[in-house]
Amino acid sequence: MVSPGAAASAGAAGRAAAGSKSEQAYQAVKARIVEGTYTPGYRLVLGSIAKDLGFSVVPVREAIRRLEAEGLVTFERNVGATVAGIDPTEYLYTMQTLSIVEGAATALSAPLIGAVAIARARAVNEEMRECLDHFDPVRFTQLNQDFHSVLFEHCPNPHILDLVHRGWNRLAALRSSTFRFVPGRARDSVEEHEELLRLIEAGAPADRIEQAARRHRATTLDTYLAQAKHQ
C-alpha cells in the first residue's frame, strides 16, 4: 500500500514532468513561429504538433495558451489556434511602448553594466555586422535581442523590466518579418548599437542614454511605417 507521503511525492513528480513537457512544447512551437516555419495565419493543429514532438496533447495545449497570452497565437471561431499575423496597429503601439520602457530600462541599467558586459555586447554586435553581408533576418533578429538583453537586463526596477520582456514577447513573431521587410534598417541598427555602447562606456547622463535608446527603437518603427505606405 502506498503511503500518503509517497503518493504526494509521486504526484509532485508527475506535475514536474508535465510542466517540463509543457515548457519543451512551448519552446519548440515558439521557435518555429519566430523562425518563420509557422507563418502568420498557419493553423496550429494540436494533435499534429503533439505527434511531431512525441507528446500528448495536454502539454501542447498548455504551450499554445501561453503563446496566446503573449500575442503570438490567436483563436478564431471555427478555425482554432493560428499564428498571429502582423497587425499594423498592434505593431505601432508595441513599438511605441517598447521604445519608452526599454529606453528607461537601458538608462537605469547603464551604471551597472561593467566592462565584461560591454565586451559581450560588442562581440554580439560584431556578429550582427558580419551577418549583414549574407543577410539572415532570423539570425540577425536573435542577435539583436541578445545585444539589447545585455543592456537592459541589469535594470534594478523589476516592473519596468517585466514590461520590456512583455514587449519583446509581443514582437517575437513580428521581428523576423520586420527585418525581411526593411533589411536596409539592419545596417543602421548596428551603427546605433555601437553609439549606445560608447555612451554607456563614457558614463553619459541617463537622459542622454535613454533618448538614444528610444530613438533607436523609434527609427525602426518609422522606417517600417514609411515602407508600408508604398506597398
Give the pLDDT of residue 19.
Answer: 56
Give tens-digit pLDDT for 77-126: 888 999 877 677 888 898 999 999 999 999 999 999 999 999 999 999 99
Give tens-digit pLDDT for 156-183: 999 999 999 999 887 765 655 567 677 7
pLDDT at 6 over 90: no
Cell of residue 59, nine digits: 502539454
**72 secondary structure, DSSP code:** S
Going by C-alpha positions, the residue among 135, 142, 122 that lies closest to residue 190 is 122
Tell me which amino acid residue 39 is: T
pLDDT at 5 over 70: no
Give tens-digit pLDDT for 22-79: 999 999 998 888 777 887 788 999 999 999 999 999 999 999 999 988 778 888 888 8
Intra-chain end-to-end CA distance of the chain, in Å? 70
Give tens-digit pLDDT for 129-166: 999 988 888 788 889 999 999 999 999 999 999 999 99
**Interval 190-219 mean pLDDT:** 96
Cα separation, 58 vs 206, in Å, equals: 47
Identify which has the larger pLDDT, 12 or 40.
40
Q: Among the listed ranges 3-12, 48-57, 184-193, 202-211, which one has the minimum average pLDDT value? A: 3-12
Pair 154, 112: CB distance under 8 Å:
yes
CA–CA–CA angle 188, 217, 91 (5° rounding): 120
Q: 71: helix, coil or strand?
A: coil
Q: Is the dihedral of CA 142, 190, 225, 102 positive or negative?
A: positive
Count the neighbouring beta carbons within 10 Å of the beta carbon of residue 18: 15
